[in-house]
Chains A and B, each alone.
Chain A
Amino acid sequence: MTNSYDDLETAGCIFVVGSNTTACHPLIATRIYRAKERGARVIVADPRQTQIGNLADLSVHHRLGSDVALLNGMMHWIIENDWHDKDYIAARTEGFEALAATVAAYSPQRVQDITGVPADDIKKMAELYATCGSAALLYAMGITQHTTGVDNVKSCCNIALLCGNVGVAGGGVNPLRGQNNVQGACDMGGLPNVFTGYQPVSDPAVVEKFSKAWGRPLSDKPGMTITDMISAMLDGRLKALYVIGENPKLSDPDWNHLQHALNRLDLLIVQELFLSETAQIADVVLPAASVAEKEGTFTNSERRCSRIQKAIEPVGNALADWQIICKLSTAMGYPMDYPGGPEQIFDEMAALTPKSYAGMSYQRMGLNGLQWPCPDANHPGTPILHTQQCTRGLGKFHAIEYQDPAEMPDEEYPYFLTTGRMFAHFHTGTMTRISSHLDHEQRSGYVTIHPDDAARLEIAEGDLVAITSRRGQMEAPAQISAEVPPGNLFLPIHFGEYPANMLTSAEAFDPLAKIPEFKVSAVRIAKAQAA
């Protein structure tokens, strides 16, 4: 997030796109409720009907994957009505003319034809976003998990820059992170092309710094993303995989394809709390300590790095992930020894991460944590990014044309399928399905289907529905609800017995971010068996 949770409450308008906030980030929804009750206007754009949408001033349901068109349409109307922030654009941005030329072609009527959102609603969304003071844009995986994920994000940035909403209180472009430490994993260099703090592996000075610090010559060749690794497993270039705290067998696209890939490995090492679907097919399984059984830090969506503290001893012979990595590294002939524990590791990392984490220490963090960038020991942390200028200097507009998702419904596969979460479960369900209170809320997977479609196919609540995509077929019990539009299906991702990723595509991903298009697949359906 460019801004902070507290700051959301000061927004004049909150625009939520591609986020089922009350289910997936409930405590962010609290901030939206507060802002609304303080007088802020709330706009929600989501293909599905969501709780936060029902409470919004304006709720629209755009067709799956039509985000760029929707945002371009809003920008078209903002420029047409002269609501854009001309002083801000002149002082802080570049590329406005190209953007204006592109969005000129996205009239509300044309955008209505693409997105299915009535032209009048598009105009009203534009007006609310542009004319209610500072506007905060919130998004989640509904924006990113597309072949046009990067385009979608850039379009969110475009509209924020257009109205002078970047670097101001109550504004910003605010992605909500799905995992507790996805921000931290990225910050720590858990990516193939960067070390900690996004220092590129292709920069010789950076490689030299880390080589020196770590006492080993390091490679300056960017590595493979997960998406690349799967192809490399299939063609035999990747022979061993060490998976820590993830369940790719359930979480990655195209289940059959991934199954083949994992089967081709010579060695699969899985470090986990549970014998997850992926751990079951591993050669070695290493038992890890849980969040309550170790020390360390997590970094949340608002870039706040906070400590976790050890409450109990690990179960059985489980060890903290850091202890296991130290052991394995030492056994591999590269000794790692941190008698000072996680704090010593943190200090080593902070010293190598000058711009963002350098000023942090366990002592300074306390229980409130610190928000990066925090470059030195006197820096108070940064609740709002880019207040003076953007990281690259001027904020850049990207003129972006709308593109259809990789797969659109056709005669053979006439339905849209999208995937996501429900409120009581989390990701692949390894943690939530064994929790009795959470299991009570939802014991089993389902597929949500619109009442009209269900009636036409004579599908009743609970009937098994056969769903087929170009990748595979699965059956799931029907949940009939107008929360999905006609012609659309929703499959939650938490249930291994109904793996949504039997159907999704490993070939449809964003060319730059390599994020799979989990949010859009084309499928056909039929009633398989009555309940």
Chain B
Amino acid sequence: MEMKFVPSICSYCGTGCGVLFEVLDGELVGTLPMKTHPVNHGKLCIKGWNLHEHINSPLRLKNPLLKTFGRFTKVDWDKAMDVTADRLKAVIAAHGPDSVGVLVSAKMTNEENYLAQKFARAAIGTNNVDHCARL
């Protein structure tokens, strides 16, 4: 048996409360407030207390999906990446890099947002980068 308590930050609103994920044998069994965290001082709201529930949902996506003739098919990462890159390259070749838009996310980490805008700007070549700050 292995039990651990992993410090993290709640991913709902922008308050940024400190949480501990309770993990038993590699499975997320609960979320609790970090008692000494400077933001929330050991308290959470109803969403924070239930943060693990969406993570454990059976509805989580587990494989890349490609739509062919209106239906999704499970594929592996190599196939997903090849097809996506080919189709993106085709769009860029036909219409230029500014015909591509990237919506980054207020739910991703800073590192991921940094990479996503780097991807848009350097790999695709467009400043068409935005996210849902307004929504």
C-alpha gap A315/B55 in the complex (Å)? 9
Segment from A10-18, A125-133, A277-285, A443-451 that makes contact with B: A277-285
Identify the closest chain B residue to A501 (Cβ): B135
C-alpha gap A440/B108 in the complex (Å)? 27
Task: Report yes or no: A190 in contact with B46, Cβ–Cβ below 8 A.
Answer: no
Contacts A284-B83, A318-B60 given; does A244 touch B102 at CB 8 Å? yes
C-alpha gap A181/B23 in the complex (Å)? 24
Inter-chain CB contacts under 8 Å: number? 441
C-alpha gap A215/B110 in the complex (Å)? 21
Task: Report yes or no: A219 in contact with B125, Cβ–Cβ below 8 A.
Answer: yes
Interface presence of B32 (CB below 8 A): no
Segment from A100-108, A430-438, A477-485 that makes contact with B: A430-438
Q: A222: which B residues are within 8 A, CB to CB?
A: 127
Task: Report yes or no: B18 in contact with A306, Cβ–Cβ below 8 A.
Answer: yes
Identify the closest chain B residue to A221 (Cβ): B127
- The secondary-structure label for the interface of chain B is mixed
C-alpha gap A272/B52 in the complex (Å)? 17
Identify the closest chain A residue to B107 (Cβ): A245
Task: Report yes or no: B28 in contact with A292, Cβ–Cβ below 8 A.
Answer: yes
B124 CB to nearest A CB, Å: 7
A516's partner among B91, B121, B134 (CB-CB below 8 A) is: B134
Q: A145: which B residues are within 8 A, CB to CB?
A: 134
B69-85 CB mask vs A (1 if < 8 Å, else 0) is 00010001100111111
Task: Report yes or no: B57 in contact with A274, Cβ–Cβ below 8 A.
Answer: yes
Q: Which of B4, B104, B107, B133 has the largest number of chain A CB atoms within 10 A?
A: B107
C-alpha gap A184/B72 in the complex (Å)? 33
C-alpha gap A180/B51 in the complex (Å)? 12
Contacts A185-B108, A292-B21 given; does A274 touch B61 at CB 8 Å? yes
Q: For the side of the interface on B, what is the size category?
A: 35 or more
B15's partner among A27, A186, A438 (CB-CB below 8 A) is: A27
Task: Report yes or no: A334 in contact with B14, Cβ–Cβ below 8 A.
Answer: no
Contacts A27-B39, A312-B28 given; does A284 touch B67 at CB 8 Å? yes
Q: A279: which B residues are within 8 A, CB to CB?
A: 61
Instruction: Kindly identify, within residues 265 to 317 of chain A, every residue whose CB is under 8 Å from any CB belonging to chain B.
Output: 266-267, 269, 272-275, 279, 282-288, 290-302, 304-313, 315-317
B119's partner among A191, A328, A432 (CB-CB below 8 A) is: A328
Q: Which of A186, A215, A244, A269 has the largest number of chain B CB atoms within 10 A?
A: A244
C-alpha gap A226/B4 in the complex (Å)? 41
Interface presence of A28 (CB below 8 A): yes
Contacts A239-B91, A282-B67 given; does A178 touch B16 at CB 8 Å? no
Identify the closest chain B residue to A1 (Cβ): B14
Identify the closest chain B residue to A23 (Cβ): B45
State how many residues of chain A have any CB contact under 8 Å with chain B.
Answer: 141
B65's partner among A191, A284, A312, A436 (CB-CB below 8 A) is: A284
Interface presence of A322 (CB below 8 A): yes
B84's partner among A180, A243, A269, A336 (CB-CB below 8 A) is: A269
Task: Report yes or no: B64 in contact with A321, Cβ–Cβ below 8 A.
Answer: no
Q: A301: which B residues are within 8 A, CB to CB?
A: 14-16
Contacts A251-B132, A275-B61, A298-B109 given; does A27 touch B54 at CB 8 Å? no
A180-196 CB mask vs B (1 if < 8 Å, else 0) is 11111111111111011
Contacts A325-B116, A432-B47 given; does A190 touch B131 at CB 8 Å? yes
Q: A291: which B residues are within 8 A, CB to CB?
A: 8-9, 11, 51, 55
Q: A26: which B residues are within 8 A, CB to CB?
A: 15, 45-46
B29 CB to nearest A CB, Å: 10
Contacts A181-B113, A327-B81 given; does A298 touch B105 at CB 8 Å? no
C-alpha gap A222/B66 in the complex (Å)? 32
Q: Which of A201, A300, A320 has the largest number of chain B CB atoms within 10 A?
A: A300
B130's partner among A5, A190, A218 (CB-CB below 8 A) is: A190
Interface presence of A342 (CB below 8 A): yes
C-alpha gap A181/B50 in the complex (Å)? 19
Q: A326: which B residues are within 8 A, CB to CB?
A: 115
Contacts A275-B59, A298-B16, A304-B39 given; does A240 touch B121 at CB 8 Å? no
Instruction: Kindly identify, within residues 1 to 47 of chain B, every residue whose CB is under 8 Å from any CB belonging to chain A.
Output: 4, 6-18, 21, 23, 26-28, 34, 37-41, 43-47
Contacts A329-B123, A436-B53 given; does A284 touch B66 at CB 8 Å? yes
Identify the closest chain B residue to A293 (Cβ): B55
B102's partner among A242, A272, A436, A441 (CB-CB below 8 A) is: A242
B110's partner among A25, A188, A317 (CB-CB below 8 A) is: A188
Q: A515: which B residues are within 8 A, CB to CB?
A: 134
Interface presence of A523 (CB below 8 A): no
B122 CB to nearest A CB, Å: 4
Query: What are 5 of the A-B contact pairs (CB < 8 Å)?
Result: A184-B109, A223-B101, A307-B8, A321-B105, A368-B38
